[in-house]
């Protein structure tokens, strides 16, 4: 189950229930209408909150909190012969969260299945049915199909639910295997959940580039790709004076600008509950400081004949190396925090491999020419 660059699965059966799927005539659902299957859900009442949880997929969520720290949820979505899912996450990511998943083999009176899954990784083998962290109220889970809508209802007991909800929908016409393993999801979305007020935000789809991915992409392209390329121009192409200098300055300026924009966008993503966020932020600030020092050094660059030029060179070169090292480390840390798929690691790792090999070849050529 994977959303674009995100590759994740729901896991672990902890609240397993079977309910007859009933086919009726009404094929729509909205917050302005009565819940069509209310008679089949014992805990449901008209006092539930309701919102259009995920507009692009037609998800409608009804929810309420009752006594004894019990939270009740009813999720409905168009029936597409695929599973629907709602998870509870500490950081808005699917990996590490627990979720309720439901599906039905048809909308014409067959039996539906609802399982709890724990997201332990990014592949089906990481997500075998069996356990989850949700304390699901016994006999509360209901999965029922009415015409072209699928309804998943359940209750959980918890002092304070996780601060994020995660939604997912499976590929059309593909259901989980007979042993309960899930296929890749077709799309996913996340929404913040304020347990104190009971307010749930609109879902942000995992498809495309949200603010977090824009932040990561800007920093990766700026300080993870362009700046290292600019270093090669300065180190190995000085014989093409003054073109190497203008190329170096142009590439570094664009790289610094993209990285700066990414860092500024990253400050707006602050979330203290995200693992390793503080490390990621600290490294980002250090990289920003190094970048600003380089800009300052360029503006204060002494003449080549100056006695302090050698000290300036040492400062400029080594601050640049530190900035590159910190940038590469922080990019991989950011990919880990975002639980990105292996393709991101492979893609950026391939670039670094080509960059290192190119630098080694150019360095060897530089040494050979120096000996001549």
Neighbours of 369 (CB within 10 A): 9
Going by C-alpha positions, the residue among 201, 209, 347, 227 that lies closest to residue 265 is 209
Instruction: Pick out the residues of the known binding site for heme b.
Output: 215, 248, 280, 316
Residues placed in the known binding site: 215, 248, 280, 316
- Separation CA 83–CA 168 (nearest Å): 8
Collapsing DSSP to helix, strand or coil, 349 comes out as helix
Give the Cα separation of 368 and 231 in Å (integer). Answer: 20
C-alpha Rg value of the chain to the nearest Å: 27
- Kindly state the tokens that stand for 357: 């090999």
């Amino acid at each position: 189950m994977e959303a674009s660059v995100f590759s994740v699965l729901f896991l672990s059966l902890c609240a397993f229930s079977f309910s007859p799927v009933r086919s009726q005539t009404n094929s729509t659902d909205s917050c302005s209408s009565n819940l069509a299957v209310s008679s089949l859900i014992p805990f449901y009442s008209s006092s539930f909150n309701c919102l259009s949880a995920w507009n692009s997929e037609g998800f409608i969520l009804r929810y309420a909190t009752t006594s004894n720290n019990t939270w009740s949820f009813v999720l409905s979505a168009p029936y597409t012969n695929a599973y629907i899912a709602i998870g509870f996450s500490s950081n808005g990511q699917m990996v590490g969260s627990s979720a309720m998943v439901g599906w039905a083999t048809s909308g014409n009176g067959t039996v539906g299945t609802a399982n709890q899954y724990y997201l332990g990784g990014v592949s089906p083998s990481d997500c075998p049915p069996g356990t989850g962290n949700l304390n699901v109220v016994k006999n509360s889970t209901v999965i029922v199909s009415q015409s072209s809508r699928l309804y998943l209802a359940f209750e959980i007991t918890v002092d304070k639910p996780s601060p994020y909800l995660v939604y997912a929908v499976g590929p059309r016409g593909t259901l989980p295997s007979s042993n309960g393993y899930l296929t890749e999801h077709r799309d996913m979305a996340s929404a913040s959940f304020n347990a104190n007020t009971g307010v749930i935000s609109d879902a942000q789809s995992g498809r495309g580039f949200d603010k977090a991915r824009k932040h990561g992409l800007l920093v990766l392209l700026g300080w993870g790709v362009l700046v290292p390329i600019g270093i090669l121009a300065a180190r190995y192409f000085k014989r093409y004076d003054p073109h190497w200098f203008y190329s170096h300055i142009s590439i570094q300026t664009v790289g610094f600008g993209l990285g700066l924009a990414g860092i500024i966008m990253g400050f707006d993503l602050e979330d203290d509950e995200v693992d390793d966020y503080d490390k990621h932020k600290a490294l980002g600030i250090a990289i920003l400081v190094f970048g600003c020092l380089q800009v300052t050094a360029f503006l204060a660059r002494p003449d080549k004949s100056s006695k302090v030029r050698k000290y300036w060179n040492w400062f400029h070169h080594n601050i640049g190396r530190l900035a590159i090292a910190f940038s590469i480390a922080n990019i991989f840390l950011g990919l880990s925090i975002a639980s990105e798929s292996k393709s991101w690691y492979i893609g950026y790792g391939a670039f670094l491999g080509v960059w290192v090999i190119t630098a080694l070849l150019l360095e060897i050529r530089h040494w050979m020419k120096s000996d001549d």
